[in-house]
Amino acid sequence: MPDKSPVIYCFRHDLRLTDNPALSAAAKSGRPLLLCFVLDQVTPGQWNYGGAGQWWLHQSLGVLQDNLKAAGGRLVLRKGVWAEQLLALADEVEAGAVYWSRMYEPYAAKAEQFLHGQLADKGIEVRRFGGYLLFEPEEVRTQQDEPYKVFTPFWKACLQRPEPRSPGGKPRKFDFYKGRLKSDSLKDWALLPTKPDWAGGFRESWKPGEKGAAAQLGKFIDAALIDYKEDRDIPALPGTSKLSPHLHFGEISPRQIWHRIQAVLAGNSRLQKGAESYLRELGWREFCYHLLHHWPDLPEQPFRQQFKAFPWRKDSKALRAWQQGQTGYPLIDAGMRQLWHTGWMHNRVRMIVASLLVKNLLVPWQHGEAWFWDTLVDADLANNAAGWQWVAGSGADAAPYFRIFNPVTQSEKFDPDGTYIKCWVPELAKLPARYIHAPWDAPESELMAAGVRLGKDYPLPIVDHKATRQRALDAYAKIKN
């Protein structure tokens, strides 16, 4: 007789039914299927979900629960240390197998290794699956059999590999485990903000869940892909995919995106430039996880060791002004307020606000990384760490340290009419476009006509860009050798 002990499949950052290799394999195993999600309580300081991530997780799990209920099943919720909870659940139901999808965060990799050993010792079948990336980090190496440290040759190597496999569908049949089990409720976990409820802008901006992810991909392809290469840098335009939170939580797989874009590209060559540009951004996501896998201290330590000696400053007042969008630089403040209201910030603006913090204010990049981790709905350990180190100049394939974004010239170039600024910094909405990028240069008559009193209605610049740029270059000169 076939073994009818249950197979446990634990959802992680793969909150979808479609193109989920681990779920499909579990459903085909011939065993009763027990589906669970563990709210992992990792060691304090080891990157638990931030506030924005908790909000998204609550919404996404709610959608997943509804989808499973419609299929006749349920999602068992447990809270605690991930490996310990799965071991306890396996004992509780006398499981014959435990499946999960791979994660790449250092603590997750250690937990997977520990759990695998414990389950194997009990004689329980263990299977781990990919699906979160297009290419596993072990697969892409240099001719010297070393991990890549520079993005462009890394991505070229990826493109020379066999194309990512076609995405799978949903399991055709579920044989759900029928036993009674204790389960937390989402409400028990208190993931949503209440006092105050700061998530109103999130609800207006996003539709978490597998269906929302598929709709966002379709919207992007139909409306923005053709001009993506040019429009992706204009923060006032809907020129980016906004798929990053859906990808982070695994509501859609990178393979689904890859093959959907290839399919539409085959029927419309005019999409070529935009498609290549967007797929390159998927490649950057791959590269970040490649770095995190091979250099697991990336979120805490500078990739380039010389930056351990960098003379960072402790300036809590400046950090707070930056967090609150009160720097006096309109484009910076617009970005930080967009982040607070929607849980997301335009990528071009992310680079500019990061440059101000680490280079003009000399605040350590880890402080910016931590703020983004708490406030971004797409907070992703690999991308967040690699992105901040890229801007700081301390990372792999980093921007040259002397590249210090000027928030005024960037604003004039990428938001020439001030549309983005006026949306998020309404104090300046009545200023003519010619003055909105640097209101301190506006004649007093223009400021009065716009109802702007600098230092009262809107702050003066927190620092002088030119002087602090030179200060940053001088600081770098001390460590570069």
Q: How far is 473 from 223, CA to CA, in rounded Å?
A: 42
Q: Tens digits of per-residue pLDDT, 374-389?
A: 999 999 999 999 999 9
Half-sphere exposure of 124 (CA within 13 A, CB side): 26
Q: What integer best gives the mean pLDDT of the chain?
A: 95
Does the structure show a pLDDT above 50 at 367? yes
**313-329 confidence digits (pLDDT tens):** 999 999 999 999 999 99
Query: Is residue 47 over pLDDT 90?
Result: no
Q: What is the reported pLDDT for 45?
A: 52
Residue 398 pLDDT exceeds 70 = no
Tokens of 257: 């995106």
Distance CA(191)–CA(377), nearest Å, equals 13
pLDDT of residue 437: 98
pLDDT one-digit tens code per residue, 279-313: 999 999 999 999 999 999 999 999 999 999 999 99
Residue 179: is it exposed, middle or buried by C-beta count within 10 angstroms (0-12/13-18/19+)? exposed
- Going by pLDDT thresholds of 50, 70 and 90, the confidence category of residue 4 is confident
Average pLDDT over residues 130-147: 96
Q: How far is CA 377 from CA 208, 213, 220, in A?
A: 10, 14, 18
Q: How far is CA 230 from CA 31, 342, 399, 412, 422, in A?
A: 51, 24, 21, 16, 22
Tokens of 387: 């992105």
pLDDT band at 44 (very low <50, low <70, confident <90, very high): low
Q: Which residues are catalytic?
A: 281, 284, 312, 347, 365, 388
**Amino acid 1: pLDDT:** 44
Q: Please state the rounded mean pLDDT for residues 43-59.
A: 86
Task: Please give the structure tokens belonging to residue 374.
Answer: 């708490």
pLDDT score for 317:
97
SS3 content of the chain, % helix, strand, coil (to 5): 50, 5, 40
The stretches of 71-207 forming alpha helices (DSSP H) are 82-93, 106-121, 151-159, 186-189, 200-205
Report whether pLDDT(90) > 50: yes
- Per-residue pLDDT band at 480 (split at 50, 70, 90): confident
The pLDDT, as a whole number, for residue 307 is 94
Q: Which residues contact 280 (CB under 8 A, 6 or more apart)?
A: 155
- Residues 6 or more apart in contact with residue 184 via CB below 8 angstroms: 39, 77, 78, 79
> Average pLDDT, stretch 417-429?
98
Question: How would residue 42 be classed by pLDDT, with cut points 50, 70 and 90?
Answer: confident
Q: What is the mean pLDDT of residues 135-147?
A: 96
Q: Report pLDDT digits (tens) over 343-355.
A: 999 999 999 999 9
Which domains are delineated in the chain? 7-132 (3.40.50.620), 133-169+194-295 (1.25.40.80), 305-479 (1.10.579.10)
Within 10 Å of residue 308's Cβ, how many Cβ atoms?
A: 10
